[in-house]
Amino acid sequence: MFQNLSDKLQNVFQNLTRRGKLTEADVDAALREVRLALLEADVHFSVVKSFLDRVRVRAVGVEVSRALNPAQQVIKIVNEELVATLGEPGRLNLKGQQPRVVMLVGLQGSGKTTTAAKLARKLRAQGERVMLVAADPYRPAAIQQLQTLGQAIDVPVFTGGAKPPDLCAEAVRSGEKQGKTVVIFDTAGRLQIDEELMQELVAIRERTKPVEVILVADAMTGQEALRIAEGFHKQVGLTGLILTKVDGDARGGAAISMRSVTGVPIKFLGMGEKVDALDAFEPSRLASRILGMGDVLGLIERAEAMDKETAQKSAEKLVSGSFTLEDFAVQLKEVRKMGPIGQLMGMIPGMSGPKMQIDEQAAEQQMKRTEAIISSMTPRERRHPDILNGSRKRRIAAGSGVQVYEVNQLIKQFKDMQKLMKQMGKQKGFGLPRFR
């Protein structure tokens, strides 16, 4: 997400940092480039104008002229104003009488059903007793899809043959009897101009009194997402937004525009197909990624999801010198759980841009080759790589689809790492990292 915009903004900032003292003309030239980059990224023109007006007032004032590093001060201002444009992070309102109702609305194909399951999983992990409601009788297999997802995350799904307003009201009563704390409606996809179907949503809202009415919008729809949000907001009164398919949108302008244009807070971003790929919206972190500053907090959160016991054992084995290729394979699988290597590299400050994209692809391919080589070894070979002679290496290379020299490279790198860690372990004062 935002790759094109991030690349263009980084080029603008690099040009600024090459200059010492900044003139008003320098700032205006940079802001013209920023304007073009934002418009090309599908940011609404009114949002671009308001954003740049605020940046310019600060960038040509005393704040920059008296700064020790004017270019860095301009970048700081752009970051702060971008955070302000993205707005305060929206949090789910789960107050009031139980079960609290969360109603998901949106166009067909926006990802509502998958998002309903992601949200249910997240809330269940927070201790809520959740029930999903299949309120889409129109799309073929919509009910079965939600049931399959419900089974995967161990959340019950309420179904029935009644019309959606009756079904939803019945689901709330059933949830109350079962002691559920949250009920999530997966409503049918509809156009905001379809009056009959929109009235169905109004009826559901009036009968069930949801604490949240959230629009699930596809980030890749660009400017159209704004008109969709405005249409739904006018009809049913939105309380929040969830942007889906964010990982597939290189422009990302909808995310910047939607809060400003609609006044409705973004609550979550859908970052992939898996049921755990739903991130809380954090404007400061998103702004950092847009400006190519990475997302260190996001990276830490993903790292914290790794198996702590496995990580601790690996650290102890590394220092003692007993770390094997088998342990290495386990660690690679743990890293894979954190997400695609490209996403992880994008979260590291400075690790973005066209060149880094090529490096990401190379790193992903190298990781796959490494996993294939280790998988082609026997358990004994993984534990004792010293027994790997020529014939064994040829067998491993053939089994993993690589050349023998690549097998030799991996073994050499592994042994070098083993030797280095053993030496460090012997040094006085070298301690193990603790995983809590």
Question: 3-class SS at 142?
Answer: helix
pLDDT tens digits, one per residue of 71-127? 777 778 888 888 888 888 778 888 888 899 999 998 888 889 999 999 999 999 889
CATH no. for residue 45?
1.20.120.140
Answer whether residue 169 is part of any domain.
Answer: yes
Q: Are residues 128 and 165 in the same domain?
A: yes
% pLDDT > 70, the chain:
76
pTM comes to: 0.65
Q: Are residues 165 and 216 in the same domain?
A: yes
Element of type H or E holding 340: none
Q: Are residues 110 and 248 in the same domain?
A: yes
Q: Are residues 289 and 313 in the same domain?
A: no
Instruction: Calculate the CA 76 to chain-centre distance.
Output: 24
pLDDT over threshold 80, residue 434: no
CATH no. for residue 387?
1.10.260.30
Name the percent of the chain in helix, strand, coil, to the closest 5.
60, 10, 30
Minimal CA–CA distance to 149: which of 185, 117, 189, 120? 117
Question: 3-class SS at 298?
Answer: helix
* Residue 363 φ/ψ, nearest 5 degrees: -65, -40
| Rounded Cα distance, 300 and 263, in Å | 31
| Rounded Cα distance, 82 and 76, in Å | 10
Q: Are residues 208 and 255 in the same domain?
A: yes
Number of Cβ within a 10 Å radius of residue 421:
17
Answer whether residue 287 is part of any domain.
Answer: yes
Answer whether residue 314 is part of any domain.
Answer: yes
Number of residues that this document lists for the chain? 436
- The token pair at 110 is 């926006």
Answer whether residue 105 is part of any domain.
Answer: yes
Q: Are residues 113 and 47 in the same domain?
A: no
Q: Are residues 254 and 125 in the same domain?
A: yes
Answer whether residue 299 is part of any domain.
Answer: no
Which residues are CB-contacts of 202 (< 8 A; sequence separation ≥ 6)? 235, 236
CATH no. for residue 179?
3.40.50.300
**Inter-residue contact 256 to 85 (CB < 8 Å):** yes
pLDDT tens digits, one per residue of 11-52? 777 776 666 667 778 788 888 888 888 888 778 888 889 888
Stronger pLDDT, 334 or 429, i.e. the higher one: 334
At how many degrees (to 10) do helices 70-86 and 283-290 cross?
Answer: 130
Q: Are residues 243 and 110 in the same domain?
A: yes
Answer whether residue 133 is part of any domain.
Answer: yes
pLDDT tens digits, one per residue of 225-254? 778 888 888 888 899 999 887 766 555 677
Answer whether residue 416 is part of any domain.
Answer: yes
Residue whose pair of structure tokens reads 């604490």 in the numeric block = 211
Q: Are residues 214 and 242 in the same domain?
A: yes
Q: Which of 29, 63, 86 is the last residue of a domain?
A: 86
Question: 3-class SS at 244?
Answer: strand
Number of structural domains (the chain) is 3
Stronger pLDDT, 312 or 120, i.e. the higher one: 120
Q: Are residues 232 and 368 in the same domain?
A: no
Q: Are residues 312 and 417 in the same domain?
A: yes
Q: Are residues 30 and 139 in the same domain?
A: no
| Range in 117-131, 184-198, 294-308, 400-414 the model is least confident about | 294-308
Answer whether residue 94 is part of any domain.
Answer: no
Q: Which residues of 141-153 are buried (b: 16+ CB within 10 A; e: fewer)?
A: ebbebbbebbeeb
Q: Give me the domain span that covers residue 48.
A: 3-86
